[in-house]
Amino acid sequence: MVRSFEDKVQTGLDFVLIDEADSILIDEARTPLLISDRKEEDLSLYLKANDLVKTMLQDDYEIDEHKRLIWLNDAGIEKAERFWQVRSLYTADNQPLLRITMLLLRAHFLMHKDKDYVVLEEEVLIVDPHTGRALPGRRFNDGLHQAIEAKEEVEVHEESRTLATITIQNYFRMYQKIAGMTGTAKTEEEEFRQIYGLDVVVIPTNLRVNREDMPDDVFYTEKEKGRAIVYEVSWRHAKGQPTLIGTSSIKSNEWISSLLTKAGIPHQILNAKNHAQEAEIIAKAGQRGMVTLATNMAGRGTDIKLSEEVYKLGGLAVIGTERHESRRIDLQLMGRSGRRGDPGFSKFMVSIEDDLLEQFDNKRWENFRTKLKRKHPHDGKPVNSPKISRFIVDAQKRIEGANYDLRKDLLSYDEVIDLQRKIVYKERDEVLRRNKLGVSSEKILREVASKVFREAQSEEEQEELFEKQKELLGGTKFPYTFDQVTLMEPREVGEKIVAWHNTVRRKFPADTIAMIEKEVYLNLMDQMWVIHLDEMVQLREGIHLRAYGQQDPLVMYQKEGAALFEKFQADYHFYFAHALLELDPDGLVVG
């Protein structure tokens, strides 16, 4: 996006070495990288759409939690059309209303407070789903952040518009050679190979792992699980063994905290709401008798140091309060204990009411769960069955598969823009390297001029089109009349316009005209690219509806995206030609 080649800061993309490679190449790969700017729009529409969505009943929309999709059914469409007072939500004119309605639906029914985001000091902050950390300065793109602000009734800030975008996958695949390291990549071996062409090599630890990893304790209800966690923590706390309790969300973090408080167990809390104190909290977590309650924040890049006394007590005990969507995050939590040959302990205490199993859509699991509930003795003891452990792993694998599909889907759609992006940035780099456009400007003028005067059919229509195009191509300065143009071949029109323009060009100093052409060309290219990206986002948002018409959404996106790209190229060439023909050497001030 720079204006001179010397301002580019990145050298050739030869080799990249990535720390925490699975976090970057897999977890982060569900959202594209963006450079954005503010976009002017009517923010009151978000507040109005919020009022509409508050009236939505379950019969008005359908939801697919795994694919993170939501759509209006017939009843919802009717309700929205009555609210907005339009005949059809699906016409081009009403696209902004449809888009904002869908954004508010996503905000209300797919984005969950204290899981996907937190509200701190009247500000909506994204929570990283893999680390549990709040991400100040980052915002959900394409209007989703504004929709959440409207839902939470805090100030709705201006939406950003995308100036440049690329997926993590496509960005890193631009490097000649990729390498990286992480403690938890083996479970994603297939994805590393398929997407990045990387093999995963497991390097044995320098010192033997002395951590004792126990099988899961599974409880019938969340309440029983909560009681068992408190009991497990209390006797370890009584003997002085430090304990780290891992939760997957702020909500369950606060629930366990309330149980520990009732039981009189002192503890320190770490989640996205107090992440500023993270280093201080982790520094104390290995001390005698310390109980630390943390979201996934305590999962990466943290060494919990143990005192000599704690070594003799068995090291740090890690208690997981539920299995995560990804087995890697479970392994990261377990890995907080038993570092560099230290002693340690880990165990997950889960219930069949946990989100992971509640959302597990599997007939065999449903039947097994019903039988379990019938046998439930209400004695608070765990039902430790290898069968349940297998179901938990199946549920995790299914969600990992769904997340992989999301990333692959994102990549498939980005491949379309990636081709376009490579063409645009290659041309942009060539323009930056040259000091002048020269032949390119002549070529564009010739191409535009020969095209615009040959599209109409009848003479009347042709004259009307001529006046319109003349206005755009130089206005009153345009050197030919309609009668003159009609006698020329399209190619001849192009040549005459170039010849006329060259007489104007020669009135400028050579370096001045070169600088003007280059600046105008880059300006128009960048402005039109931003508009094009916006149009591609709009196309992407509505494309899944094509599946109802038995069309492949990806194929339609490729086809319609190619048409939009052709239009983008034609548009900035046309406006560049217009700008050249508007040049006025007499009005130029040099200095």
Q: Which of the 8 DSSP states describes residue 65?
A: T
Q: Which residue type does 275 have? A: H
| CATH 1.10.3060.10 residue window(s) in the chain | 434-587
Nearest CA-CA partner of 296 in 228, 247, 341 = 247
User: Which residues contact residue 99 at a Cβ distance below 8 angstroms, ignoring those fewer than 6 apart?
Assistant: 143, 538, 541
- 244: helix, coil or strand? strand
Domain spanning 38-161: CATH superfamily: SecA, preprotein cross-linking domain (3.90.1440.10)
Residue ranges matching CATH 3.40.50.300 in the chain? 211-384
Tens of pLDDT, residues 280-299? 888 888 999 999 998 876 65
Separation of CA 99 from chain center? 17
How buried is 425 (Cβ within 10 angstroms: 0-12 exposed, 13-18 middle, 19+ buried)? middle
Measured CA angle at 251 (ends 391, 366), to 5 deg: 25
CATH for 434-587 is 1.10.3060.10
Q: What is the distance between the alpha carbons of residues 221 and 376, in angstroms, rounded to a whole number?
A: 10
How far is it, in rounded angstroms, from Cα 429 to Cα 42? 36
What is the per-residue pLDDT across 346-368, written as a single tens digit (0 to 9) for each? 999 999 888 888 878 788 888 88
pLDDT per residue of the chain (591 residues) written in tens, 0 to 9: 787 888 888 878 999 999 989 888 988 887 788 887 777 677 888 999 999 999 999 888 988 776 677 888 888 899 999 999 998 888 878 888 888 999 999 999 999 888 889 898 888 988 877 667 778 877 887 788 899 999 999 988 887 777 888 889 999 999 999 999 998 888 889 899 999 999 999 999 889 999 999 999 999 889 999 999 999 999 999 999 999 999 988 888 889 999 999 999 999 998 877 766 777 888 888 999 999 998 876 655 567 889 889 999 999 999 999 998 888 889 888 988 988 889 999 999 999 888 888 878 788 888 888 887 777 776 778 887 888 888 999 999 888 888 888 888 888 888 999 999 999 999 888 888 886 776 678 888 888 777 665 554 556 666 666 665 666 555 555 666 666 666 667 677 777 778 877 887 888 888 888 888 888 889 899 989 988 988 888 888 777 766 666 778 888 999 999 999 999 998 888 888 878 877 766 655 443
**Taking Cα atoms as reference points, which of 521, 541, 522, 536 lies closest to residue 567?**
536
Distance between alpha carbon 342 and the CA centroid of its chain, in Å?
Answer: 38
pLDDT in tens, 293-340: 988 766 555 678 898 899 999 999 999 999 988 888 898 889 889 888
Q: Please tell me the pTM assigned to this model.
A: 0.71
Domain 211-384 has CATH 3.40.50.880: no
Locate all alpha helices (DSSP H) within 240-277, ordered by sequence: 250-262
**Strand ranges, E, within 167-209:** 177-181
